[in-house]
Amino acid sequence: MNEIEIAGIPVPDAGPVFLTVLAVHVIAGLTCVASGATAALSRKGAARHRRFGRIYLWGLGVVFASMAVMAVIRWSHNAHLFIIGVAAFTLALTGYLSRRRRRPYVHIAGLGGSYIALLTGFYLDNGPHLPGWDRLPTWTFWVLPSLFGLPLIARAIARRLPAKEDTS
């Protein structure tokens, strides 16, 4: 399959439907990265946290839908990205739905895990073409988002744990 280059990144020339869906996918992905970080860094329960959390979830829905279309068009190249996308969207929905059930640990782990999966998918697909990242071995694209994200999720959960009473 032929490739075209957009901003120095090779993109499959899989036809106008693929390229149109890819444009929507990129915009939604950038929206997710920005809104997810904003929600995570905002005071929990505040209007800003809820607003950007909803933007993240809707953006991830668009990322998931557009990824599914592109995966169908190029299944042999994108099947692994489809699996990561399913995981990301499932984690996000689980985290989002758990907030009403007063399960903050599931909320944090689900949405944090979906953000890690989002970044993992991005780096797997684009890492080999990014300056600096192109020198890294392939396994790092699978592992680095988790190496950075999991300790942050653990810290956020630990901060939500009730304080232990001193019984001495």
DSSP one-letter code for 137: -
Residue 14: the pLDDT is: 82
Residue 8: the pLDDT is: 73
Residue 7: the pLDDT is: 75
> Is the CA virtual torsion 52, 57, 62, 67 positive or negative?
positive
CA distance 100 to 102: 5
Beta strands in the chain (DSSP E): 3-6, 9-12
Beta strands in 79-141 (DSSP E): none
N residues, the chain: 168
CA distance 141 to 148: 12
Distances 73 to 24, 100, 120, 137, 161 between C-alpha atoms, Å: 15, 37, 21, 27, 45
CB contact set of 25 (below 8 Å; sequence gap of 6+): 62, 63, 66, 67, 70
Q: Are 96 and 110 in contact (CB under 8 A)?
A: yes
Distances 108 to 42, 86, 161 between C-alpha atoms, Å: 13, 18, 12
Residue 1: the pLDDT is: 61
Residue 129: the pLDDT is: 85
Give the chain's largest Cα–Cα span: 71
Residue 54: the pLDDT is: 96
CA distance 2 to 4: 7
pTM of this structure: 0.90
Residue 3: the pLDDT is: 81
CA distance 30 to 34: 6
CB contact set of 128 (below 8 Å; sequence gap of 6+): 134, 138, 141
Per-residue pLDDT of the chain (168 residues; tens, 9 = 90+): 688 877 777 788 788 898 999 999 999 999 999 999 999 999 988 999 999 999 999 999 999 999 999 999 999 888 999 999 999 999 999 999 998 777 899 999 999 999 999 999 999 998 888 888 889 999 999 999 999 999 999 999 998 877 776 665
Residue 101: the pLDDT is: 75
